[in-house]
Amino acid sequence: MMKAPHTVLLGMLLLIACGGSDAAEAGIVDDASPKGQQLFKMHCELCHGSDGKLGFNGAKDLAASTITRAEMIAQVTNGKGKMMPYKNVLTAKEIEAVVDYTRTLGKTK
Ligand code: HEC
């Protein structure tokens, strides 16, 4: 019985400590840059593949792409051929983030 208050107090301290660090971690993840990668997985991987090379339905190999960042932004915004426009799906900032991620695909190999 003598130990009960200590156990409760320790439990509360652990809860506070864990709750605090979870919230901080969630905040860091939200602000960090993997957003472009997440957007790519959600919207682009289907045709382009996780490495940009899938080429489904005539999609270009993004790892071999030679167009400029501005041209990529324009193409993702307005679409081209079988690729649909993303201007009503993603914000301008999201398009920039996903294009910046796309541009890292060719440089890793
Ligand atoms: C429905 C399938 C499909 C999806 C989904 C898709 N694309 Fe495409 N993408 C294509 C096709 C097809 C082309 C070739 C278009 C053409 O030149 O006629 C293309 C071309 C491109 C190009 C031009 C590459 C070059 O060198 O000319 C870029 C950049 C690109 N896509 C980025 C993206 C991004 C970023 C996303 C996600 C926001 C995305 N695509 C989603 C099908 C898709």
* Residues paired with 80 in a beta bridge: 83
How far apart are the C-alpha atoms of 2 and 92, rounded to whole Å?
62
- Centre of ligand 1 to C-alpha 26, Å, is 31
Fold of 33-108: Cytochrome Bc1 Complex; Chain D, domain 2 (1.10.760)
Report the nearest atom of ligand 1 relative to the CA of 101. 35
In 3D space, the residue among 75, 72, 74, 47 whose CA is nearest the CA of residue 61 turns out to be 47
CB of 78 closer than 6 angstroms to any ligand 1 atom: no
Contact between 101 and 37 under an 8 Å Cβ cutoff? The reply is yes
Mean pLDDT, residues 57-83 taken together = 96
pLDDT above 70: residue 10: no
Domains in the chain: boundaries: 1-32, 33-108
pLDDT above 60: residue 74: yes
In 3D space, the residue among 91, 68, 93, 72 whose CA is nearest the CA of residue 83 turns out to be 72
Residue with tokens 């030679």: 66
- Centre of ligand 1 to C-alpha 29, Å, is 27
DSSP state of 62: G
